[in-house]
């Protein structure tokens, strides 16, 4: 019986050797947002890779998206989905090592999913792998807010992906008690990254408190420690400093506005004074000719006096009335042969 099985396997060996197989190099890959990752699959040895076809697709989440397409040695970039356009390339040199490796750059959270590697050479085979894109949590931003003479609020804030939970401990390692007392909240920005905030109210008694951001796999990504009451003094110093700066800024702004007000007021007063001096009467300047030449004086001459509205200072109307009146000089003032004249 054993001899018959051996004979059968020996007869099928050439067929088994000809079987074309594709294997995934890794079951899953981890990538960082804005970074790059290389994913690959191995295929059976073949005489030549010049007419090889390689196709990479993301099959989940739906819909299926084509990532890269090599058709019998020729790239088909028009097959690449716009989501991956200009971000993916095939390492052609690795084909000689019987590896179909792609490099995906500028990773996004939405790149996470299941990918399928398909290799075709007369025969075809494929394998699948998983890509998980993460955003590491940033250093924690600490805040201390004084609530009363005996109580303060400690606050931790960080951002990353996926959603992390926050734990609190003190020097006595009362993790469960403190964590249950804390208040946690989170939001997501436009990139899908979580902004996680945790607050804990404690007394001002001497103690150290630590907040920790723990990922879903149980690993701690970021921690921050508050030293009470030491950090309260620093907080008060900063608060007083900001208050002093605020007062100085307000005083400077007030002084600037006061100077501007006084400058404009002085300018307006100067303009008003000039206007009162240079303002002209709506009537024309009046010209009055003296009658001295009518007197019997051999040295008499015609004198012409010009009076402007500035000189008369509001007496224009009276002068106009005089102009409109007609009167006759006494005969004694008239020279011989002169008749009375009207002015």
The Cα 269–Cα 324 span in angstroms is: 39
At residue 174 the predicted structure's pLDDT band, cuts being 50, 70 and 90, is: confident
pLDDT average, residue stretch 7-21:
56
What is the SS3 assignment for 40?
strand
The Cα 163–Cα 137 span in angstroms is: 10
Residue 290 predicted with pLDDT over 80: no
Average pLDDT, the chain: 80
Residue 30 predicted with pLDDT over 60: yes
Q: What percent of the chain has pLDDT over 90?
A: 55
CATH topology of domain 19-134: Immunoglobulin-like (2.60.40)
At residue 11 the predicted structure's pLDDT band, cuts being 50, 70 and 90, is: low
pLDDT at 256: 85
Class of 141-228 in CATH: mainly beta
- Buried b / exposed e along 50-68 (16+ C-beta atoms within 10 A): eebbbbbbbeeeeeebebb
- Buried b / exposed e along 238-266 (16+ C-beta atoms within 10 A): eeeeeeeeeeeeeeeeeeeeeeeeeeeee
Residue 312 predicted with pLDDT over 50: no
Query: Which two structure tokens, joined as six digits, stand for 278?
Result: 């240079």
pLDDT average, residue stretch 8-30:
72
Cis-peptide, bond into residue 327, ω within 30° of zero? no
Q: 214, 216, 211, 215: which is closest to 198 by C-alpha? A: 211
Residue 188 predicted with pLDDT over 60: yes
At residue 334 the predicted structure's pLDDT band, cuts being 50, 70 and 90, is: very low
């Amino acid at each position: 019986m054993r001899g018959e099985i051996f004979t059968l396997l020996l007869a099928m060996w050439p067929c088994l050797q000809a079987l074309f197989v594709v294997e995934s190099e890794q079951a899953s890959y981890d990538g960082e947002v804005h970074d790059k990752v290389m994913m690959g699959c191995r295929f059976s040895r073949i005489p030549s890779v010049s007419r090889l076809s390689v196709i990479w697709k993301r099959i989940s989440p739906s819909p299926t998206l084509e990532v890269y397409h090599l058709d019998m040695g020729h790239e088909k970039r028009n097959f690449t989905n716009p989501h991956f356009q200009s971000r993916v390339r095939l390492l052609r040199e690795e084909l000689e090592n019987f590896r179909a490796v792609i490099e995906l750059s500028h990773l996004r959270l939405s790149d996470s999913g299941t990918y399928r590697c398909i290799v075709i050479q007369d025969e075809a085979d494929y394998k699948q792998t998983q890509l998980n894109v993460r955003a590491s949590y940033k250093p924690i931003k600490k805040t201390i807010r004084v609530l009363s003479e005996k109580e303060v609020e400690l606050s931790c804030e960080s951002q990353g992906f996926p959603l992390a939970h926050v734990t609190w401990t003190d020097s006595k390692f009362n993790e469960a008690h403190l964590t249950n007392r804390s208040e946690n909240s989170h939001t997501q920005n436009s990139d899908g990254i979580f902004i996680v905030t945790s607050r804990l109210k404690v007394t001002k008694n001497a103690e150290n408190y630590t907040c920790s951001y723990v990922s879903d796999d149980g690993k701690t990504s970021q921690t921050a420690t508050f030293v009470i009451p030491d950090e309260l003094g620093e907080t008060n110093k900063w608060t007083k400093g900001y208050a002093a700066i605020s007062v100085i800024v307000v005083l400077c702004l007030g002084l600037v506005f006061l100077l501007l007000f006084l400058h404009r007021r002085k300018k307006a007063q100067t303009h008003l004074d000039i206007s009162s001096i240079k303002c002209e009467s709506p009537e024309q300047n009046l010209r009055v000719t003296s009658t001295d030449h009518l007197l019997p004086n051999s040295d008499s001459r015609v004198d012409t006096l010009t009076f402007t509205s500035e000189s008369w200072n509001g007496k224009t109307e009276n002068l106009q009335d005089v102009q409109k009146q007609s009167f006759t000089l006494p005969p004694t003032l008239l020279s011989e042969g002169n008749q009375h004249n009207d002015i």
